[in-house]
Amino acid sequence: MHVRWITAYFDLPAASFGEEVTFWRAISGSTVSPPRGEHLEFATLEPFHGDPYLRVQRVNDGPGGMHLDLHVDSPEDAALEAQTLGATLLRRAPEGFVTLQSPAGGVFCLVPWAGESERARPIRWPDGGISIVDQLRFEVPHEVFEAEVTFWAKLTARTLDDLGGADELAINHSPRLSLQVVIGRTDSDTTRALPSIAATDVAHELSRHKDWGAVATHGSEGNDDIHVGFGEDEVPDTVEMTDPAGRPYSITARNPRTGV
């Protein structure tokens, strides 16, 4: 399957939709498109430069979450390929979209490519820090991790030699795509998808997010005992966060231009 573009969808419960759209618009440095859809349930977070790759959807049932849109030349052909590799068909939409579920339960859609090609640029903030929402992370239970890695490797035409022997694997790392997809092994018994932000200065980025109502839950990267009250000089390379509505995400010290 040739993935032409990738979009991350924030599936937001109706009760917190406005609050979360405001938060993620501010964090990503985007504007919000006019709503669309039969019930005005969809909108796009428009970057100041480049093609859109973040969108929001209001959902009326359940806690929401996140899912991927993979933009391809032929969603039907890609869906057949995905199903032969172990995906489960969930829905076909009249617009030509196909919704599937990966072996570990990750939801993704195959949608027609509309020519998107220009990567969004990171934002330089007034404090001098630079950041961008650049990853969607699938956290997968240990017992299904290998099956999930095998599925995505075959679907995206990567060799298993590229992916073996790690607890965290990037299934794409193309400089032409704004979004990187990472599969991580977890001790949890459920699969979840969450965004991650690359930042040149995690302390400054953390402060900006707190100003918009986010909460740091804990730090990692060799500092698992660090708790919420760390000072700026103690901020680790990765900080786990929740947005004002309780949605988990992370801020990581990576190069916002390369993702490394």
Task: Give the model confidence (pLDDT) of 37-93 as tens digits.
Answer: 888 999 999 999 999 999 999 999 888 899 999 999 999 999 999 999 999 999 998
In this structure, the strands spanning 5-13 and 65-72 are antiparallel
* Residue found under tokens 């924030």: 10
What percent of the chain is predicted at pLDDT more than 70?
91
Neighbours of 14 (CB within 10 A): 12
Q: Are 51 and 5 in contact (CB under 8 A)?
A: yes
Q: Specify the pLDDT at position 231.
A: 54
> How confident is the model at residue 226, as a pLDDT?
38
260, 223 in Cβ contact below 8 A? no
Tens-place pLDDT, residues 226-240: 344 455 556 789 999
- pLDDT value for 124: 95
Neighbour-count burial of 72, counting CB atoms closer than 10 A to its CB (0-12 exposed, 13-18 middle, 19+ buried): buried
Q: Which helix (H) or strand (E) holds 107?
A: strand 107-112
End-to-end CA distance of the chain: 25
CATH architecture of structural domain 123-253: Roll (3.10)
pLDDT beyond 80 at 132: yes
pTM here is 0.89
| CA dist., res. 99 & res. 87, Å (int) | 10
Q: What is the pLDDT of residue 174?
A: 72
Topology of domain 5-112, per CATH? 2,3-Dihydroxybiphenyl 1,2-Dioxygenase; domain 1 (3.10.180)
pLDDT at 164: 52
Residue 149 token pair? 């890695």
- List helix spans (H) across the chain: 17-28, 75-84, 142-155, 160-163, 202-211
Q: Give CA–CA dist 251/169, Å, rounded.
A: 18
Ranges of CATH 3.10.180.10 domains, the chain? 5-112, 123-253
CA–CA distances in Å: residue 85 to residues 79, 94, 164, 241: 10, 24, 18, 34
Compute the average pLDDT of residues 104-112: 94
Q: What is the pLDDT of residue 222?
A: 38
